[in-house]
Amino acid sequence: MSARDTILASIRRSLGVSGQEAPRRAAVASRLALHPVGLVPARGQRESERRALFRAMVELASGTVEEVARPEDVPGAVASFLRAHNLPLSVRRGSDPRLEALPWERERTLAVATGASDGSDLVAVSHAFGAAAETGTLMLTSGPDNPTTLNFLPDTHIVVVRADEIAGDYETLWQRLRAKYGAGRMPRTVNWITGPSRSADIEQTLILGAHGPRRLHVIVLDG
């Protein structure tokens, strides 16, 4: 008997079932197919307050937020953030079409590389799939144009998110993800990011920048 069969048999013996009971199988099949939504906190549900809540929650998690009116303002916002923190004017980004379309060339002094990081980059720029206001959480998906290494290796992570893609809750993001990737399918990696990396393992003293970025800056893009 394989290990798998041994474990399943032991589970069934303990539960007193055979595994063939139609009602059990139906209960599981329907939950997996319908993925019912549970209790969703009220705090993210009012649309008029959602952006303010998102900002407040990102800041609570020690991240920073700025809002820009037009896509063409993003490269300038990136460059200003770097200058304000005395960082070299050099970033790495994925080739996500939403980032490709931005007029990076307008910032003449900003060097922009694309592709995965090998650990030598100080600053990365990513585009989020969306965000959940309830906890100030960004959701990023991996893919040919969105290297996961950019989310963790650089010291500073700048994430662009469209204002209309800030949802109130996680469940809304799952629905959007299913619409894009198909039921039961996921990209290799989905990263939820809530603030910059941290550790409190030494005497519970909170320190930012443990293994991942020590700064997380969110640029919310209107319209």
Enumerate residues 49-78 that contact another protein by CB under 8 A: 57, 60-61
Find out whether 175 and 189 touch, Cβ atoms under 8 Å: no
Binding mask 77-96 for another protein (x = CB under 8 A): -----------------x--
Q: Is 31 in the site for another protein (CB under 8 A)?
A: yes
- Give the pairing of strands 156-162 and 215-221: parallel
Q: Is 46 in the site for another protein (CB under 8 A)?
A: no
Nearer to another protein, 107 or 134 (CB): 134
Nearest approach, Cβ of residue 208 and another protein (Å): 9
Find out whether 166 and 133 touch, Cβ atoms under 8 Å: yes
One of 45, 64, 90, 149 touching another protein (CB under 8 A): 149
Nearer to another protein, 77 or 142 (CB): 142
One of 44, 130, 136, 168 touching another protein (CB under 8 A): 136
Find out whether 144 and 158 touch, Cβ atoms under 8 Å: no
User: By CB neighbour count within 10 A (0-12 exposed, 13-18 middle, 19+ buried), where does 53 fall?
Assistant: buried
DSSP helix/strand/coil, 80: helix
Enumerate residues 113-132 that contact another protein by CB under 8 A: 115-116, 118-119
Site size for another protein, by CB under 8 A? 82
Enumerate residues 150-189 that contact another protein by CB under 8 A: 151-153, 169-171, 174, 177, 184-189
At residue 84's C-alpha, the angle toward residues 200 and 134, to 5°, is 50
User: By CB neighbour count within 10 A (0-12 exposed, 13-18 middle, 19+ buried), where does 124 fall?
Assistant: buried
